[in-house]
Amino acid sequence: MGRVWRALLLAASVPAVAGAGELQDDLRARRGRVMEALGPESVLIHRSAPARVYSRDVDYEYRQDSDLLYLTGVDQEGTTLVLLPGNKTKKSILFVSDANPRREHWQGHLLTKQEAQEASGVDEVRLASELDDFLVSLMNGYPFGERLTEYTGEYDAFFEALKADTARLALILGWRPGPKDELPQAYEFAERMRQRVPGLQVRDATRMVWGLRQVKTAYERAALQRSTDVSADAHRAAMRATKPDRFEYEVEAALEKAYLERGAPSWGYPSIVGSGPNATILHYDRSRRQMKAGELLLIDAAAFYQGMTADITRSWPVSGKYSKEQAELWRLVLAAQDAGMKAAVAGNHTTDVEKAAEDVVKAGLLKLGLVTDASSKQHRTWYTHGICHWIGLDVHDVGDYRRPLEPGMAFVIEPGIYIREQALEALEDTPENRAFKEKVRPAALKYRDIGVRVEDSFLLTETGLVRLSARVPRTLEEIEAFMAGRDQ
Amino acid sequence: MGRVWRALLLAASVPAVAGAGELQDDLRARRGRVMEALGPESVLIHRSAPARVYSRDVDYEYRQDSDLLYLTGVDQEGTTLVLLPGNKTKKSILFVSDANPRREHWQGHLLTKQEAQEASGVDEVRLASELDDFLVSLMNGYPFGERLTEYTGEYDAFFEALKADTARLALILGWRPGPKDELPQAYEFAERMRQRVPGLQVRDATRMVWGLRQVKTAYERAALQRSTDVSADAHRAAMRATKPDRFEYEVEAALEKAYLERGAPSWGYPSIVGSGPNATILHYDRSRRQMKAGELLLIDAAAFYQGMTADITRSWPVSGKYSKEQAELWRLVLAAQDAGMKAAVAGNHTTDVEKAAEDVVKAGLLKLGLVTDASSKQHRTWYTHGICHWIGLDVHDVGDYRRPLEPGMAFVIEPGIYIREQALEALEDTPENRAFKEKVRPAALKYRDIGVRVEDSFLLTETGLVRLSARVPRTLEEIEAFMAGRDQ
């Protein structure tokens, strides 16, 4: 109880750094919940992500598989987790790369067994070179690396299940590939195991693990707040770096420097830094344009920090003051976000949040002359994407939108409006659309090339909704005041 | 002649930005040389790199395949180059992604046919959706998309070769995979084409194209100088940001900000920022350590800019002054680099450069007591890697080390010495090694945990060797003076 209480306190006070102990406790608890769901007749096997090629012999900076991070906290290639919930004491076994002085002189220190044990809190650490033999032993009902005279029945629950043909191999297969996609490695592994162990049932544990990830633990809540703080600081640095005639990449430099100098190893997703018409491209990541006074700059960016990725967007004026048209659209997306927040209560669904915001947008666009019928789908011309997604280990974190909101869920509310002439031109040529185009064209010209999106990272708690990214100026008044003070 | 002369001038004066025209001329010349080598009975097909997964639905920032960049300059996914050297007018045909308003609202502008034509200077641009039909037509001896009544014999050279079973499909297959590696897509494509077109000979054009890449054109020389300048500026920024008690990642932040704010979209390879003992890990990329006064900081880093990646390393004192031991090792690697430079003349091989530097290192280590026999391989304990590699589109650029040096070749000379106790311990237990260990242990303790590497990017020109990275302080005196002035 003491420990849980302390963790809750941690979440409430949101410290700069939590002690490492809490993470290991949390990792143990996560694995415990997974093993409870699997049952004693299962073995779960999950491998680390491969390195990804940048060009020739240079790889991108390594990104661990999110599910492996969730269950082990280990950020090293060549790692495999084996869970055996029916085991007596060695329920969690981690296989890590063998020590290799030559390789370590080149690529850096590899975790020793003890370091891997301390980092992850697993019951046993073994070397990656032992994994294949371990699996052969396991599937043949022999304890690996033990003399039978000293064997105390560690693996018997699984061995009995094998004998009874009730043993299950659980894999976290992830998002299912389409009929034309190449099969990911885990599928081929499943197929090979099925061929070698008739009677072994393969079970996809993805939904179960992802269901757990959808509700953040006390430790994760605190880590997500710390991660959001780093991203919020970076947005403030980017606001300060915004000046007419600078290039988008110069602002991106200030933004990403703020990640790195706070110890975040990377972005959680490529930074979107779009000025003027580029603000109407949702995932614009080129950052090549020179910003002009009078335009808006849209920044959608967040760091990957302590295993968490927030998601924050603001659209601020390059010269510090919103024009009348920019202000009207900015106020509209803020009002939509406010409406969404009100609907983000336990028991509701994200679709309720979406609907609440959408109603505000429809009415607002009607007032501005950008739609002629608020009960139609006309607003989709300018309001082009959904506004809720989960956040966590991934920026588009895993989770089931059919599940009602509950404390511990973390998500964004991100209404956006993009006035692109092409959006009108691309409409199907029907009598209604022709009438619509004709009527709204003056307004479309008036607001042309303005793109606004407001996006905050939220956590639903037992006492209500928390805006984790509250540190970033948001209202027109806050942003203009911040921009006015940026050189002081 | 006028154009060539102008390009040479460009290379000599190293302007901030060369006009786009020169690049397109150069791309055309590169393709011309490839087509000359292929001959009229060949078709070369080369595809862009795939996007690489970062995590879930987020990709890393896109990196184009280097050979496609070399031949087209087009940095867009879903691009395919087809070269038909035997064609009358349409010898180079580029297939680019179809316009798609919805996709472009999400991912940004896709090159129009005209933009792709202007960027690459190819003879014809077609849509990616036409590629499969184009290939079917081509391999059946029918002109694609033309009425036969209007056909003027454009493809006849290739069609005749098909009929005579002398047609060749040229692919740039790249570095050959090992027997256990998965076959890259281009190999599967080759296999499918072979099955469908009996008599078609598949030819690997890798060595030929890489041989061309090994000698830089005038345009490439100028671009490599500009790219090296960006990286040199970043090293200077990193030196200014170095202070005792800062974390390595804070210096990395200053370094990579300098890339971004000069318009480089990315590093050319992950930055190595290693202080104290981390300087003895060759590819240390974690940047998590707090630097202490009295230690060295080793930075090995360069930007990818204008299609070129330099490669620069320095080891400078965290507090601004080298200790006696650090200075001795730093001066030794500088002397080794100097010797290597003297050997880097046209007609020599990179192995001559390696040997010249190695002789200096052997003698120097003997003087410092780190080896007992300069004619043995003892120095390999501390001097652990080769010191020459090509640079260009890739940081470890393509090229054949058996080919004598000639003007236009670009490479690094990077001697490094790393004093790690583990290096002694890891030696095989033989009588000679035991004696060696005993004798050099005092010196190894004296220089313990010092890692020094000096690396510059060089271009061999008609008039001799040019140090492209001359802008980065290099000698002990230059570095100490720069560090002394860093706060002014």
Q: Domain check: are B289 and B152 in the same one?
A: no
For residue B398, what are its two tokens?
A: 């393509």
Backbone φ, ψ for residue A109 (5° rounding): -60, 135
Query: Chain A partners of B300 at a C-beta cutoff of 8 Å?
Result: none
Tens digits of residue pLDDT in B50-97: 999 999 999 999 999 999 999 999 999 999 999 999 999 999 999 999
Q: Are B274 and B251 in contact (CB under 8 A)?
A: no
How far, in Å, CA of A122 to CA of A237, rounded? 40
Beta-carbon contacts of B292 under 8 Å, excluding residues fewer than 6 positions away, are B244, B245, B275, B276, B318
- Residue A427: closest CA among chain B residues belongs to which residue? B101
Among B102, B261, B393, beta carbon nearest to A250: B261
Chain A CB contacts of B270 under 8 Å are: 58-61
Q: Is A254 close to B257, i.e. CB distance below 8 A?
A: yes
A263–B282: do the CB atoms touch at under 8 Å?
A: no
- Position B437 scores a pLDDT of 96
Nearest to B63 among A54, A105, A286 (CB): A54
For B366-372, the CB contacts below 8 A with 24+ separation are B368/B328, B368/B329, B368/B332, B368/B443, B368/B447, B369/B439, B369/B440, B369/B442, B369/B443, B369/B446, B370/B419, B370/B440, B370/B443, B370/B444, B370/B447, B371/B436, B371/B440, B372/B435, B372/B436, B372/B439, B372/B440
* Domain of residue B359, CATH code: 3.90.230.10
Between chains, do A286 and B55 touch, taking CB under 8 Å as contact? no
The last residue of one of the domains, among A190, A212, A234, is A212
Q: B398: which chain A residues are within 8 Å (Cβ-Cβ)?
A: 56
Contact between A72 and A120 (Cβ < 8 Å): yes
CB-closest option in B58, B261, B393 to A269: B58
Nearest Cα residue in chain A from B185: A182
Whether A62 maps to a domain, the answer reads: yes
Query: CA-based diameter of chain B, in Å?
Result: 87
Task: Let me know if residue B309 belongs to a domain.
Answer: yes
Give B109's contacts in chain A (Cβ within 8 Å). Answer: 281
Residue of B nearest to A106 (CA): B282
CA distance B153 to chain A (A): 37
Phi and psi torsions of B396, nearest 5°: -100, 80
Residues B19, B120: one domain? Answer: yes
Same domain, B85 and B69: yes
Decide if A263 contacts A233 (C-beta within 8 A). Answer: no
> In terms of domains, do A204 and A222 share one?
no
Give which of B182, B240, B261 to mutate to test A binding, by max A Cβ within 10 Å.
B261
Cβ A283–B252 below 8 Å, yes or no? no
Chain-chain contact of A281 with B109 (C-beta, under 8 angstroms): yes
Task: Look at residue B21 in the predicted model and tell me its pLDDT.
Answer: 58
pLDDT at B27: 97
Q: Strand A303-305 vs strand A266-267: parallel, antiparallel, or unpaired? A: antiparallel
Chain A residues lying within 8 Å of B253, measured CB to CB? 257-261
| B246 belongs to a structural domain | yes
Is B223 among the domain residues? Answer: yes
Taking contacts as CB-CB distances below 8 angstroms, the residues of chain B near A108 are 278, 281, 283-286
Asked if the Cβ–Cβ distance from A260 to B265 is below 8 Å, we say no
* Burial class of residue A287 in the structure, from the number of CB atoms within 10 Å of its CB (0-12 exposed, 13-18 middle, 19+ buried): buried
Buried b (16+ CB within 10 A) or exposed e, A407-445: ebbbbbbbbbbbbbeebbeeeeeeeeeeebeebbeebbe
Residue B274 token pair: 């290693």
Cα A49 versus chain centre, distance? 16
Query: Would you call B249 and A263 a contact, using CB atoms and an 8 Å cutoff?
Result: yes
Select the residue of A247, A256, A395 nearest B256 (Cβ to Cβ).
A256
Question: How are strands ordered across the β-sheet holding A312-317?
Answer: A272-275, A296-301, A312-317
CB contact under 8 A, B108 and A66: no
Residues of B in contact with A65 (CB under 8 A): 55
CA–CA min distance A11, chain B (Å): 25
Answer yes or no: do B148 and B224 share one domain: no
Mutate which: A52, A56, A230, vs B, most B CBs within 10 A: A56
Q: Which residues of B touch A105 (CB under 8 A)?
A: 280-282, 384, 418, 420, 422-423
Q: What is the CATH number of the domain that holds A119?
A: 3.40.350.10
CA of A75: which chain B residue's CA is closest?
B286
Spatial contact of A184 and A218, defined as CB atoms under 8 Å apart: no
Give pLDDT, residue B488: 61
pLDDT along chain A (488 residues), means of 10: 30 38 92 98 97 95 97 97 98 95 88 96 97 97 90 96 97 93 91 94 97 97 98 98 97 97 95 96 91 98 97 98 98 98 98 98 98 96 97 97 98 98 92 96 97 98 97 98 87
CB contact under 8 A, B52 and A56: no
Gyration radius of chain B's alpha carbons: 26
Q: What is d(CA B117, CA B340) in angstroms, rounded to the nearest whole number?
A: 44
Query: Is B54 within 8 Å of A283 when comparing Cβ atoms?
Result: no
B2 within domain boundaries? no
How is residue A396 annotated by DSSP? Answer: S
A200 plus A223 within the same structural domain: no
Minimum CA–CA partner of A270 in chain B: B61
Structure token digits, residue A306: 């302590």
Minimal CA separation from A157 to chain B, in Å: 35
Which residue in chain A has the smallest CA separation from B425? A101
CB-based contact B108 A286, cutoff 8 Å? yes
Taking the C-alpha atoms of residue B472 and residue B311, their distance in angstroms, rounded to an integer, is 12
CB contact under 8 A, A288 and B263: yes
Alpha helices of A15-100 — where are they, by DSSP H?
20-38, 66-72
Parts of chain B with a pLDDT under 50: 1-20
Among B54, B249, B281, the residue with its CB nearest the CB of A261 is: B249
Nearest CA in chain B to A309: B55
The phi-psi region of residue A276 (left if phi > 0; otherwise alpha if psi is between -120 and 50; otherwise beta) is left
Taking CB atoms and an 8 Å cutoff, what residues of chain A touch B52?
52-54, 60
Q: Is residue A3 part of a domain?
A: no
Residue A1 placed within a domain: no
Q: Please tell me the total count of domains within chain B.
A: 2
Query: Which residue on chain A is closest to B57 by alpha carbon?
Result: A396
In this structure, are B170 and B224 located in the same domain?
Answer: no
One domain for residues B72 and B200 = yes
Sign for the CA dihedral angle at A144, A145, A146, A152 comes to negative
Distance, in Å, from the CA atom of B78 to the CA atom of B98, rounded to the nearest integer, reads: 9
**Is B249's CB within 8 Å of A269's CB?**
no
B363 and B317, same structural domain? yes
What is the pLDDT at residue A12?
Answer: 32
Counted across chains A and B, CB pairs separated by less than 8 A come out at 155
Host domain of residue B88: 8-212
**Domain match, A174 and A140 both:** yes
What per-residue confidence (pLDDT) applies to B145? 85
Contacts of A340 (CB under 8 A, 6+ apart): A353, A354, A356, A357, A387, A388, A413, A415
Cα(B21)–Cα(B307) distance, integer angstroms: 16
**A220 within 8 A of A308, measured Cβ to Cβ:** yes
Chain A residues whose CB is inside 8 A of the B243 CB are none
Write the residue in A278, A396, A420 that is nearest to B56 by C-beta.
A396
Report d(CA A380, CA A389) in Å as an integer.
19
Do B143 and B284 reside in the same domain of the chain?
no
For A342-381, b where at least 16 C-beta lie within 10 A, e where not — what string? ebbeeebbbebbbebbbebbbebbbebebbbeeeeebbeb
Q: Which residues pair with A416 in a beta bridge?
A: A453
| Domain final residue, candidates B194, B212, B230 | B212
Nearest CB neighbour to B257, from listed A66, A257, A270 = A257
Last residue of a domain, one of A212, A234, A253: A212
Residue A366 lies in a domain: yes
Collect all residues of chain A within an 8 Å Cβ-Cβ radius of residue B285. Answer: 61, 108
Instruction: Specify whether A92 is located in the same domain as A193.
Output: yes
**Closest to B361 measured CA to CA, from B316, B415, B420:** B415
